[in-house]
Amino acid sequence: MKKWQKLLLFTVVVSFVGALIIILYASDLQAHELVTNPPEERRPIYRSPASFGLEFEDITLTTVDGFDLVGWYIPSRNGAAVIAQHGYKGNREEMLEEADMLARHGYGVIMVDMRAHGGSEGEVISFGVMELQDMEAIYQYLLTRPEVDPERIGILGNSNGAAISILYTAQNQQIKALITVSSYASLQDEIAIGIEALTILPAFPFAPLIQYFAEQEVGFQAEDISAIAVIDQIAPRPIFILQGGADTAIPTDSGQRLYDTANEPKELWFEPDLGHISFDVEMPEEFEARIIAFFDMYLLGD
């Protein structure tokens, strides 16, 4: 082999190895960003139910693995209560408009910062592996409220909170009705589209590498926390799925895929022009009418 050929081969090999190192480093760094949310980087909370003139209680719940979660509880006036669950790297303030809407119709509402969110303890986000313990702590708190009928508890979840709510409802047969807004169908799909939506990195080759590093850091397998894998276990309890066709944060076919996999009773509300968790902003009157009608039927009906 001639000297210039050896030099070219050496240059190609060094460039390849260098590019591979950069890709792996960037993937590991992004995976860490994906699954951690330290207190100093969290969104601040500026409002409370008092901003809407609502009576409420500040609450602190402790999970079975020892994390303190902070939240708000608006007492029920009709015997029913709804767990209003925020999304990825959000906090309980995200659910205030929904809480105001539900409270005006007599529903009790509980809004709690999941671990590693808002004012709650923890820094690691596991997309449902550990957060199911948060949901259980919330549910157990509602069972202590004398004004809440245990047979009239439902969930309204946004985005990642909606996906976790699917997992939890499939697990807890006592949840009587579920509404999901902009839920992804599987974490694998969400990582692929989320990388492009939240970073400057392309899905390939970064998405599978980021998923791998995230799984290694937290200690889970994405397929073990797949909403679409368990949604068929919710029936005969009802589920109402909301999805926007202009959503850039999750795959726009997520709602249809979840609906097709779920068993009856089920409803799908698809709006082609709406983005991520924007139903309450873009279509507030219809959003209220349909959400309240659903919960009235399945939480208040005999």
What CATH number is associated with residue 294? Answer: 3.40.50.1820
pLDDT of residue 4: 66
Same domain flag for 170 and 82: yes
**For a pLDDT cut of 90, what percent of the chain falls above it?**
75
Same domain flag for 166 and 100: yes
pLDDT band for position 270 (cuts 50, 70, 90): very high
**Residue located via tokens 């791998």:** 212
Q: What is the rounded CA–CA span in Å between residue 171 and residue 175?
A: 9
Reported as a single tens digit per residue, the pLDDT across 195-219 is 776 666 777 777 888 888 888 989 8
**Residue located via tokens 């207190």:** 39
Residue 23 lies in a domain: yes
Task: Please choose, from the candidates 113, 230, 220, 228, the residue with its C-alpha nearest in 3D space to the C-alpha of residue 173.
Answer: 230
Could you give the strand order of the β-sheet that contains 57-62, starting from the edge strand earlier in sequence? 57-62, 68-74, 108-112, 81-85, 153-158, 177-181, 239-244, 266-271
pLDDT exceeds cutoff 80 at 291: yes
Same domain flag for 145 and 167: yes
pLDDT of residue 28: 86
pLDDT of residue 200: 66
Same domain flag for 149 and 202: no
Residue 299 Cα to chain centre, angstroms: 22
Around 26, how many Cα atoms within 13 Å sit in the side-chain half-sphere? 17
pLDDT exceeds cutoff 80 at 13: no
Task: Please choose, from the candidates 141, 134, 97, the residue with its C-alpha nearest in 3D space to the C-alpha of residue 116.
Answer: 134
Same domain flag for 27 and 54: no
Residue 43 lies in a domain: no
Residue 129 lies in a domain: yes
**Residue located via tokens 């390849």:** 16
Rg (CA), the chain: 21
Same domain flag for 272 and 205: no
Same domain flag for 259 and 155: yes
Same domain flag for 151 and 19: no
Reported as a single tens digit per residue, the pLDDT across 253-262 is 999 999 999 9
The H or E element that residue 266 is part of is strand 266-271
Residue 65 lies in a domain: yes
What residues make up the domain containing 130?
48-186+226-300
Residue 11 lies in a domain: yes
Number of domains into which the chain is organized: 2
Residue 198 φ then ψ, to 5°: -105, -15
Residue 40 lies in a domain: no
Same domain flag for 60 and 105: yes
Same domain flag for 100 and 207: no
- Average pLDDT rounded to a whole number, residues 41-49: 96
Q: Which residue has the higher pLDDT, 98 or 223?
A: 98
- Paired tokens of 182: 């902009």
**Residue located via tokens 């400057």:** 200
| DSSP state string for 66-99 | S-EEEEEEE--SSS-EEEEE--TT--GGGGHHHH
Same domain flag for 271 and 207: no
C-alpha pair distances (Å), 295 with each of 100, 170, 255, 277: 15, 18, 19, 19
pLDDT of residue 30: 85
Q: Which residue type occupies 77?
A: R
Lowest mean pLDDT of 114-123, 164-173, 183-192, 282-291, name the range: 183-192
Residue 16 lies in a domain: yes
Same domain flag for 114 and 206: no
